[in-house]
């Protein structure tokens, strides 16, 4: 039995698709707040546990008889702290992994382990603390150590379409890894299906190349057929924008701290190897995902 959390989310949905098409995946179970959001063809092939995977009763039911779990903490922008959002959310599951004898957990986490900014990186720091909480229970654990996602640019669809502006708190010329959620899902599914690994560790997913926002703006201009320029957002303005959209002050601060750490090279410390390099290029993602979204 493999359990998938966030099965209607951007990553979880794609993990589930991989597992549904994999020979020998065995029975699948999902934890969903709103099972109606699952496509009919998915509901017919999986067992559904309804509720939040922060709920002790829900994870107790979900992990009973489970061999492997895909773990992703959904964003809680109104949380009282980043620690509450990650370790607080995860604590019932960490207890349930041990109690129900789950053998392997694959979790969505972040780059930054062992860097000078590890303890002062906001959401990254909280995510790494979540990894420690899960690993401390003795379950086999692989943390997917991730940079920023290409797919996050979908949040800037209006700005890209209407103004031709790409925005970030990061420096224009900082070249750093970025990855597509489709590649994250493929790596996660492979690990969930692999019964050979044990112990704890991390698996970096770095995409195929390091790009700066200047590089990205140039690629976006080519793909969209119109000029796109990069505009850097100062930290104070970025935080004010988050607060204006209802993000709690502690979570806004944690997001600013994360980007400050990334701007100082947090995502650049992981060596790029054939094993950490994934296939989807930024140009390919723009052509296949972003451009259709802007045109729809």
The pLDDT tens digits for 206-237 are 999 999 999 999 999 999 999 999 999 999 99
Superfamily of domain 2-149+178-207+266-279: NAD(P)-binding Rossmann-like Domain (3.40.50.720)
The pLDDT tens digits for 34-62 are 999 999 989 999 999 999 999 999 999 99
The pLDDT of residue 296 is above 90: no
Tell me what pLDDT residue 150 has. Answer: 98
Distances (CA, A) of 273 to 89, 149, 270, 278: 33, 19, 9, 10
Tell me what pLDDT residue 65 has. Answer: 96
DSSP string, 209-234: -EE-HHHHHHHHHHHHTS--EEEEPP
Residue 267 makes CB contacts below 8 A (sequence gap 6+) with 111, 112, 147, 148, 176, 177
Residue 259 token pair? 């980007």
The pLDDT of residue 162 is above 90: yes
Domain boundaries of the chain, sorted by first residue: 2-149+178-207+266-279
The pLDDT of residue 185 is above 90: yes
The pLDDT of residue 33 is above 90: yes
Tell me what pLDDT residue 117 has. Answer: 87
Distance CA 243, CA 252 (A): 7
The pLDDT of residue 86 is above 90: yes
The pLDDT of residue 24 is above 90: no
């Amino acid at each position: 039995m493999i359990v998938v959390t966030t099965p209607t989310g951007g990553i979880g949905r794609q993990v589930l698709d991989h597992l549904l098409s994999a020979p020998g995946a065995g029975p699948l179970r999902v934890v969903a707040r709103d099972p109606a959001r699952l496509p009919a063809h998915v509901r017919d092939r999986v067992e559904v546990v309804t509720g939040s995977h922060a709920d002790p009763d829900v994870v107790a039911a979900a992990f009973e008889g489970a061999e492997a779990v895909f773990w992703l903490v959904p964003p809680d922008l109104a949380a009282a702290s980043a620690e509450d959002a990650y370790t607080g959310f995860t604590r019932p599951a960490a207890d349930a992994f041990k109690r129900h004898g789950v053998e392997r957990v694959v979790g969505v986490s972040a780059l930054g382990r062992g860097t000078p900014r590890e303890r002062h990186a906001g959401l990254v720091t909280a995510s790494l603390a979540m990894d420690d909480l899960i690993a401390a229970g003795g379950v086999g654990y692989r943390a997917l150590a991730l940079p920023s996602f290409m797919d996050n640019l979908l949040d800037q669809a209006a700005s890209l379409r209407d103004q031709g502006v790409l925005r970030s708190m990061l420096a224009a010329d900082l070249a750093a890894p970025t990855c597509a959620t489709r590649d994250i899902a493929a790596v996660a599914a492979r690990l969930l299906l692999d019964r050979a690994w044990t112990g704890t560790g991390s698996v970096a997913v770095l995409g195929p190349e390091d790009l700066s926002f200047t590089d990205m703006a140039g690629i976006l201009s080519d793909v969209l057929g119109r000029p796109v320029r990069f505009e850097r957002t100062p930290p104070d303005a970025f935080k004010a924008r988050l607060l204006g959209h209802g993000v709690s002050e502690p979570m806004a601060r944690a997001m600013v701290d994360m980007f400050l750490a990334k701007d100082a090279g947090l995502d650049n410390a992981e060596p790029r190897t054939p094993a950490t390099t994934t296939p989807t290029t930024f140009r390919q993602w723009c052509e296949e995902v972003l451009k259709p979204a802007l045109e729809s």
